[in-house]
Structures are given as structure tokens and as C-alpha cells.
């Protein structure tokens, strides 16, 4: 098993959170919260620590893998998104995601790999150093954000399970826990829970594919898919499955949630593509958020969300209008 | 009877104020920047929903009059209908401005079914609003009534417009659907043709 290990000393000193900032915010912590933080303290700074929402993470900036476009403010990125497990309104995830228990968190790894099993999340994160990658996030609904994700390259995370040559696809599943996720309790939902997503193995192994455990330097808030979510920046946002509890390597192409609901609208690939129209939204342009009321922040949508140099070769020879 | 007249006026005014509430909420959210990072989308959706809800409220008035026997309900019908039309018109403008940015108008209206149903609803509303005055009522006579039955097509199209947009959870729109169904069925049952055929017609 080869896991790329970046030496800890390669981290520039400028990346370290100033001690005063760290101590200051700790002063606000009381009671049980302080106890939890104390438990997390030995892990502070060390990659692989148990993610506690809002906890500062140590990471290495990856300018080569980051856009220099202006970041969407933290407040907007964490209060306005789709996470139907908590409701269909964009404000629902933040409103209701506190019911989600992210620790302890178990990830089941199965299928065509030699190291399958049930893992505690911190154990599969431990061997890796965190990176920060600032990616564009393009929703199929024609809005977009720029988010600094913290996490590990998906390839590094998956390689440790030693997928066999028969693994041609990787399948992911979100937690199914109606008690914690009120959207899953709705009797009128057309989604057959749990939420499912998948990638072709070469897509998953592409250097851009990322498994995020944080954003803006902190661990993922529940509403953004805590404690661990996928980030595939050249595909529409719904491919980037949240709160993952299952990873399965398989030989056949998995059926994904949106494909199951409306195959004419959502394909397996779901690559960002202004040339392929969606029955609900024109994909030629996008509103970069935050957008104003009197000056809508329109932007032309780029093919592969602007990541064509890194990923276009994955689809050479494929008719992207057919395999949308 | 001054007291009953002033009571009617008071009722009229309070319904008018209520109908303004969705707009006032939007304006205050705008002023206090509470519309979130994608304000255009929120404004467009809220205006459309206000138009739909007021349309349903308008359709409730005739059944309310039948049930309560109070003729006052019908006096606010035109006003509520016009409020609904105003919200719908603003919704259409907001959609052009915020959602499609005045581009791809043709493909929006020909290739996106949910927009087609919204468009049908709005286009039918225009002549209804234009002929809502008393003068037009007199001028059109019997034809006015026939024309204004178009409101049922408006309501059903608007409902389909919403239902089609529900991407995964149809619960809310099913509830509105049942209300609409009730309002339409009530009219069929109360209609004189229905009564002739099924009630008094039975000997």
C-alpha cells in the first residue's frame, strides 16, 4: 500500500493558527463543550484528529489546485445549500442539521478491495495530511460558489483500501438515519433514501477529486456534509455526496439518486457543461454567490467548470451530449 | 346603514392589508439584507408563491359565501384577484431579471415545461385583470362570466407550475392540490347544471 506522506515540516509557518486566536476562542468554551475540546486537544494540529464541527484544522495550502477567485463568505456557504436529508429549502440544512451526530462516525468499505471493513472515521483519515483546495462549486440550479475545502485527495483515501483491478467504479452512500435527518422522514419525498452517488474509478483517482473534512480552515459543519463529504469540482454539486458512511468498489456502474428519480434530467456523469441544456435550468451562465438583487452576479459557465485541463482527457471520445 | 357600511369598509381594508403582507415582508427583508446570498431567487419564489396563495384565497370566497351566507366575501374578490395578478406580474419580471437575465427567452418558454405552465397561467390572467372593472363587466355581459371562468385554468396551471418544480418532496404541493380540488369540486356540485342533473332531477 502506497500512501503519499507529506512531511509535517513542509508546512509553512504562516499556516499555523496564531496561538492567541486559538486560545481566545477556547475561552468561550464551557462545560461539556470544553471537555469535548479538551479530548480533541491532543489531536489539535495533527491530521486525522476526530472532527468536531468548527474545530480549527491544520492543513497545507495547495495554490496549484486552488482558484484565486474571491471566496464565497463562510456565512453564505454554510447557510445556503441543498442537503435534502434536512429539507428542500436552502435554509433547512443549517436550520436542522444540528440533529446529526457526527461522532462517533463509522465508514463501511466493501466490494472489490482487499482492505474492506468497518472503520472509525479518524482511523482512515489518520495516515493523511490535510490540504486546502479552493474550488469552484457549480450547482445544477445555475448558481455557484468558491469554497476553500480542507481534506485529502480522494485517490489517497481510496488507495489505502487496496481496490482490486476489478474495481471499475466507486459507490458512496450518505447516512440513513431518519431520527437525525428530518428530510428522510417526509412521507412525500420521491428520493429513495439513502442518497447514493458514484464515480468511475479513473474519475475518483483524478488529482482533483477530493474528500473534504473541513472548509475555511475548520471542520465541516453538519449542514455542509460533515464529518466527511466528496468534492468533485468539475461536476454539478449533487455529485459531491455528503456525510458519507459507505464506500463500495464495484465492477458495474452504480445507479445514483438523481439518475433514479429523473434519468432524463440527471445523468451519471453530470459534468458541468454549458452546451448541454437541462430541462429546468439553462446551463450557459451561473449566478456566482453572493449575488446582488440589483446587480445579479452573472458569469459564463465554463465546460468542466473550468477544470478541463485536468479532466477533459477522462472523457476523450465520449459524446458528452449523450453521456451527460 | 352606516355601521354595516363601515364594517364592510373595515373588512375590505383589512383584507387589503393582509394581501400586502407578502410584499411588505419582502421589502423589509430586502432593506435588512435578510434575503441570503441569492436574493433574486428568493424574491422570485416568494412573489410566485404569494400570487398562487392569493389566487387560491380568491377562489375560496364563493364557497365561503355559500357556507356562511354572508355576501361580504364577494366584495373583496376583485381586489384579491388583482393583488394576485400584481404579484404574478412582479414574479414574471423577477424571473426575467434574476433567473434568466433576459436571455434564452424562447428556449425557456418552449423547452421547460414548468415555465410553460407558469406562462399559460399568467397569460390567461392578463385579460381577466384587464376586464375586471365594473364597466367591462357591464360591457361584456354574459360573456364576462364565461371569460372569468378562465381563472380555473389559471389555478390548475399555476399548481402544475409549482408541482413540476418540486424536485424531490411533493408534500406541500399535494396539500395545495387537495385544497384546489376541493374548491373546484365544490363549484361543480353547487352548479345549477349539476343540481338539475343529480339532485332535483331525480324523481
For A253-289, write each residue's pLDDT tens digit. 999 999 999 998 999 999 999 999 888 888 999 999 9
| Cross-chain CB nearest to B168 (options A84, A279, A282) | A84
Q: Which residues of A touch B37 (CB under 8 A)?
A: 72-73, 76, 79-80, 145, 289-291
Host H or E run for residue A245 = strand A244-250
Helix, strand, or coil (residue B167):
coil
- Does the bond joining A73 to the residue before it have cis omega, within 30 degrees of 0? no
CA distance B82 to chain A (A): 25
Relative to beta strand A244-250, strand A106-111 is parallel
User: What pairs with residue A300 in β-bridges?
Assistant: A285
Per-domain residue ranges for chain A? 45-315
CA count, 13 A, side-chain hemisphere, A150: 27
Cα B145 to Cα B192: distance, rounded to the nearest angstrom: 15
Report yes or no: B68 at the A interface, CB cutoff 8 Å: no
User: What pairs with residue A239 in β-bridges?
Assistant: none
Give Cβ neighbours of residue A185 (< 8 Å, ≥ 6 apart). A178
pLDDT per residue of chain B (203 residues) written in tens, 0 to 9: 557 888 889 999 999 999 999 999 999 999 998 999 999 999 999 999 999 999 999 999 999 999 999 999 999 999 999 999 999 999 999 999 999 888 878 877 888 889 999 999 999 999 999 999 999 999 999 999 999 999 999 999 999 999 999 878 899 999 999 999 999 999 999 887 777 877 665 44
Q: CA Rg, chain B, in Å?
A: 19
In this structure, are residues A170 and A107 in contact, taking their beta carbons and an 8 Å threshold? no
CA distance A240 to chain B (A): 18
CA distance B109 to chain A (A): 11
**CATH architecture under which domain A45-315 falls:** Alpha-Beta Complex (3.90)
pLDDT, residue B201, reads 52
Give Cβ neighbours of residue A320 (< 8 Å, ≥ 6 apart). A269, A271, A273, A275, A276
pLDDT per residue of chain A (324 residues) written in tens, 0 to 9: 455 444 444 544 444 444 444 444 433 333 344 434 434 443 333 444 444 567 899 999 999 999 999 999 999 999 999 999 999 999 999 999 999 999 999 999 999 999 999 999 999 999 999 999 999 999 999 999 999 999 999 999 999 999 999 999 999 999 999 999 999 999 889 999 999 999 999 999 999 999 999 999 999 999 999 999 999 999 999 999 999 999 999 999 999 999 999 998 999 999 999 999 888 888 999 999 999 888 899 999 999 999 999 999 999 999 999 999
Contacts by B109-114, CB closer than 8 A, 24 or more apart: B111/A277, B111/A279, B112/A279, B112/A280, B113/A279, B113/B164, B114/A280, B114/B160, B114/B161, B114/B164, B114/B165
Per-domain residue ranges for chain B? 2-193
Q: What are the cell numbers at B154?
A: 389559471
Question: Hunting for cell 446529526 — which residue is that?
Answer: A100
Cα A273 to Cα A234: distance, rounded to the nearest angstrom: 9
Q: What are the cell numbers at B174?
A: 399535494
CA distance A294 to chain B (A): 9
Which site among B33, B47, B101, B168 would you substitute to test the A interface, given the most A Cβ atoms closer than 10 Å to its Cβ?
B168
pLDDT, residue B191, reads 83
Under an 8 A CB cutoff, do B38 and A187 touch? no
B150-165 helix and B39-68 helix, angle to the nearest 10 degrees: 140
In this structure, are residues A269 and A323 in contact, taking their beta carbons and an 8 Å threshold? yes
Of A184, A152, A141, the C-alpha closest to B44 is A141
pLDDT, residue B2, reads 59
Instruction: Work out how many CB contacts closer than 8 A connect A with B.
Output: 80
Cα A143 to Cα A288: distance, rounded to the nearest angstrom: 6
Q: What are the cell numbers at A272?
A: 458541468
Residue B66's region, left for phi above 0, alpha for psi from -120 to 50, else beta, is alpha
Which site among A282, A283, A299 would you substitute to test the B interface, given the most B Cβ atoms closer than 10 Å to its Cβ?
A282
Host H or E run for residue A107 = strand A106-111
Which site among A291, A295, A299, A301 would you substitute to test the B interface, given the most B Cβ atoms closer than 10 Å to its Cβ?
A291
Question: Hunting for cell 378562465 — which residue is that?
Answer: B150
Host H or E run for residue B72 = helix B72-75
Cα A108 to Cα A228: distance, rounded to the nearest angstrom: 13
pLDDT, residue B7, reads 86
Q: Is the dihedral of CA B13, B19, B21, B27 positive or negative?
A: negative
Q: What are the cell numbers at A92?
A: 433547512
User: What pairs with residue A83 in β-bridges?
Assistant: none
Cα A215 to Cα A226: distance, rounded to the nearest angstrom: 10
Under an 8 A CB cutoff, do B103 and A282 touch? yes
CA distance A220 to chain B (A): 19
Q: Residues of B numbered 20-59 whose beta carbons fall under 8 angstroms of chain A's beta carbons: which are they?
A: 30, 35-41, 43
Under an 8 A CB cutoff, do A188 and B169 touch? yes
Amino acid at each position: 500500500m502506497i500512501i503519499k506522506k507529506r512531511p509535517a515540516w513542509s508546512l509553512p509557518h504562516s499556516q499555523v493558527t496564531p496561538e492567541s486566536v486559538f486560545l481566545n476562542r477556547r475561552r468561550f468554551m464551557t462545560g461539556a463543550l470544553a471537555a469535548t475540546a479538551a479530548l480533541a486537544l491532543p489531536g489539535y494540529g495533527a491530521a486525522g484528529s476526530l472532527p468536531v464541527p468548527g474545530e480549527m484544522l491544520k492543513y497545507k495550502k495547495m495554490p496549484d489546485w486552488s482558484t484565486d477567485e474571491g471566496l464565497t463568505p463562510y456565512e453564505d456557504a454554510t447557510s445556503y445549500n441543498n442537503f435534502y436529508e434536512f429539507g428542500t429549502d436552502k435554509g433547512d440544512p443549517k436550520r436542522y442539521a444540528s440533529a446529526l451526530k457526527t461522532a462517533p462516525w463509522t465508514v463501511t468499505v466493501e466490494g472489490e478491495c482487499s482492505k474492506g471493513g468497518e472503520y472509525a472515521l479518524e482511523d482512515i483519515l489518520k495516515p493523511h495530511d490535510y490540504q486546502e483546495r479552493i474550488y469552484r462549486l457549480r450547482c445544477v440550479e445555475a448558481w455557484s460558489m468558491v469554497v476553500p475545502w480542507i481534506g485529502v485527495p480522494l485517490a489517497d483515501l481510496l488507495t489505502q483500501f487496496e481496490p482490486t483491478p476489478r474495481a471499475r467504479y466507486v459507490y458512496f452512500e450518505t447516512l440513513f438515519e431518519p431520527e437525525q435527518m428530518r428530510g428522510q422522514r417526509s412521507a412525500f419525498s420521491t428520493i429513495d433514501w439513502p442518497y447514493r452517488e458514484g464515480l468511475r474509478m479513473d474519475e475518483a483517482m483524478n488529482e482533483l477529486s477530493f474528500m473534504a473534512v473541513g472548509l475555511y480552515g475548520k471542520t465541516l459543519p453538519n449542514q455542509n456534509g460533515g464529518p466527511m463529504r466528496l468534492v468533485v469540482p468539475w461536476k454539478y454539486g449533487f455529485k459531491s455526496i455528503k456525510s458519507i458512511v459507505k464506500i463500495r468498489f464495484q465492477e458495474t456502474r452504480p445507479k445514483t439518486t438523481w439518475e433514479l428519480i429523473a434519468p432524463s434530467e440527471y445523468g451519471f456523469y453530470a459534468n458541468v457543461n454549458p452546451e448541454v441544456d437541462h430541462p429546468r435550468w439553462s446551463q450557459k451562465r451561473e449566478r456566482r454567490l453572493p449575488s446582488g438583487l440589483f446587480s445579479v452576479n452573472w458569469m459564463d459557465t465554463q465546460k468542466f467548470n473550468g477544470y478541463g485541463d485536468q479532466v477533459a482527457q477522462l472523457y476523450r471520445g465520449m459524446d458528452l451530449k449523450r453521456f451527460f | 346603514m352606516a355601521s354595516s357600511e363601515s364594517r364592510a369598509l373595515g373588512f375590505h381594508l383589512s383584507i387589503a392589508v393582509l394581501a400586502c403582507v407578502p410584499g411588505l415582508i419582502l421589502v423589509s427583508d430586502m432593506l435588512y439584507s435578510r434575503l441570503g446570498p441569492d436574493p433574486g431567487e428568493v424574491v422570485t419564489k416568494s412573489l410566485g408563491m404569494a400570487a398562487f396563495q392569493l389566487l387560491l384565497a380568491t377562489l375560496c370566497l364563493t364557497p365561503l359565501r355559500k357556507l356562511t351566507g354572508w355576501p361580504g366575501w364577494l366584495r373583496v374578490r376583485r381586489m384579491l384577484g388583482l393583488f394576485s395578478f400584481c404579484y404574478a406580474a412582479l414574479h414574471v419580471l423577477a424571473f426575467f431579471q434574476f433567473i434568466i437575465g433576459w436571455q434564452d427567452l424562447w428556449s425557456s418558454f418552449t423547452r421547460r415545461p414548468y415555465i410553460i405552465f407558469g406562462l399559460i397561467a399568467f397569460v390567461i390572467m392578463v385579460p381577466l385583470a384587464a376586464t375586471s372593472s365594473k364597466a367591462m363587466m357591464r360591457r361584456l355581459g354574459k360573456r364576462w362570466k364565461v371569460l372569468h371562468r378562465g381563472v380555473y385554468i389559471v389555478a390548475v396551471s399555476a399548481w402544475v407550475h409549482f408541482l413540476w418544480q418540486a424536485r424531490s418532496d411533493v408534500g406541500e404541493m399535494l396539500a395545495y392540490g387537495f385544497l384546489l380540488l376541493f374548491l373546484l369540486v365544490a363549484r361543480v356540485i353547487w352548479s345549477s347544471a349539476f343540481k338539475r342533473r343529480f339532485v332535483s332531477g331525480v324523481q
